[in-house]
């Protein structure tokens, strides 16, 4: 039996998962139809990708996207025979061979009747998962646990901590992640290179790739923010400084590194040589290289300076200002 589920999935949440799972258990083939108005802010492609990723291991579930103009089709959840009949014509055109519709809404009866197929009503009272997409859009971080892992990266804001050696990046990254009760991504280079002067082009390429992969792996498990120690621009700066050449970096690596906030730690704290770092003089020249590369790429950095407590307070203030502006 071939069935379908339709909705905005704006965003996709565990209430939708419960409905789709129930429908999939009763069908040999199930189509999840994502209907997105042109006036809505989350693109159709992103919503389809969320669902496709979540059900990637279930080949009998497929995802179909449908974009529409509200001037042509009504955007309402009100139960109405007239509205249901309009949408039923669209669904019959898109899915002419379906036999059953699964919804959690009373208008499902109207839609199915107009299509001449069966309707299975699932959890209309929202007893299994009591949440709505409207609630999540209003405050996704309050309802974070209702978002599947495939959706969470969309709402995570990436904050990168940049700077030269012995500027406190690692400690600040870990402190911020602990304070905001979320994940962090450590600097991969320290695991791959025993001593900074030993870097070569091959190692820097490995660092770039593994760091980007670590960011992608961590994103679904972060809450609100993901704090990242160092980024691709700093790796490129090392290449220019040590090897005299820029790295050739795949576009996906740059995309993975793209962040919402860039905190740059100045080199005005005591230099500590731990046996792996550049000399203090080279550290300071590398600082200039970092700033030049970031300027070249037009990265909007927030420069942080002063003692450790001052840096902590400045970082929190920058994040708080970002929240006021963007939430």
Domains of the chain in sequence order: 2-146 (3.40.50.620), 156-326 (3.40.50.300)
Confidence of residue 276 (pLDDT cuts 50, 70, 90): low
pLDDT of residue 318: 97
pLDDT of residue 167: 85
Confidence of residue 189 (pLDDT cuts 50, 70, 90): low
Peptide linkage before 11 cis (omega within 30 of 0): yes
Coil, strand or helix: which one is 228? strand
Average pLDDT of span 27-42: 96
pLDDT of residue 280: 75
Confidence of residue 298 (pLDDT cuts 50, 70, 90): very high
Other CB atoms within 10 Å distance of the CB of residue 270: 7
Q: Please say if the pLDDT value at position 196 is more than 90.
A: no
Average pLDDT of span 25-49: 97
Helix axis angle, 44-54 to 14-24, nearest 10°: 60
Look up tokens 């009272």; give the residue.
125
**What is the tens place of the pLDDT at every residue in 312-325?**
999 999 999 998 88
Give the whole-angstrom CA distance, residue 231 versus residue 326.
23
Please choose, from the candidates 169, 318, 179, the residue with its C-alpha nearest in 3D space to the C-alpha of residue 234: 169
pLDDT of residue 269: 80
**Buried residues in 156-172 as b, exposed as e (16+ CB within 10 A):** bbbbbbbbbbbbbbeeb
Q: Please say if the pLDDT value at position 267 is more than 60.
A: yes
pLDDT of residue 198: 65
Q: Please say if the pLDDT value at position 141 is more than 60.
A: yes
Q: Please say if the pLDDT value at position 128 is more than 90.
A: no
Give the whole-angstrom CA distance, residue 129 versus residue 221.
21
Look up tokens 């700033």; give the residue.
291
pLDDT of residue 135: 94
Give the whole-angstrom CA distance, residue 106 versus residue 33.
18
pLDDT of residue 36: 96
pLDDT of residue 292: 95
Q: Please say if the pLDDT value at position 301 is more than 90.
A: yes
Confidence of residue 250 (pLDDT cuts 50, 70, 90): very high
Residue 296 · residue 232 · CB < 8 Å: no
pTM listed for this prediction = 0.84
């Amino acid at each position: 039996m071939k069935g379908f589920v339709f909705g905005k999935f704006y965003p996709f949440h565990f209430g939708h998962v419960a409905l789709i799972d129930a429908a999939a258990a009763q069908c040999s083939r199930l189509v999840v139809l994502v209907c997105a108005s042109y006036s809505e802010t989350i693109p159709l492609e992103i919503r389809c990708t969320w669902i496709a990723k979540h059900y990637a291991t279930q080949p009998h579930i497929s995802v179909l996207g449908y974009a529409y103009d509200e001037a042509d089709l009504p955007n309402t959840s009100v139960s109405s025979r007239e509205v249901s009949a309009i949408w039923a014509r669209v669904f019959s055109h898109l899915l002419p061979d379906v036999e059953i519709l699964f919804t959690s809404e009373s208008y499902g009866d109207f839609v199915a009747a107009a299509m001449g197929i069966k309707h299975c009503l699932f959890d209309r009272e929202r007893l299994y998962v009591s949440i709505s997409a409207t609630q999540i859009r209003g405050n996704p971080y309050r309802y974070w646990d209702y978002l599947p892992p495939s959706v969470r990266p969309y709402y995570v804001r990436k904050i990168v901590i940049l700077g030269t050696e012995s500027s406190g990046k690692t400690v600040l990254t870990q402190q911020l992640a602990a304070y905001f009760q979320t994940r962090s991504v450590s600097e991969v280079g320290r695991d791959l290179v025993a001593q900074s002067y030993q870097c070569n082009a091959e190692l820097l390429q490995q660092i770039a790739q593994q760091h980007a992969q670590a960011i992608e792996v961590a994103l679904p498990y972060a809450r609100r923010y993901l704090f990242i120690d160092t980024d691709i621009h700093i790796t490129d700066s090392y290449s220019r400084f040590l090897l005299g050449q820029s790295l050739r970096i795949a576009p996906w690596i740059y995309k993975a590194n793209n962040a919402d906030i860039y905190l740059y730690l100045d080199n005005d704290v005591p230099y500590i040589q731990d046996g792996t770092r550049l000399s203090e003089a080279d550290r300071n020249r590398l600082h200039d290289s970092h700033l030049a590369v970031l300027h070249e790429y037009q990265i909007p950095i927030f420069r942080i300076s002063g003692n450790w407590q001052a840096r902590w307070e400045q970082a929190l203030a920058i994040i708080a200002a970002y929240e006021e502006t963007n939430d």
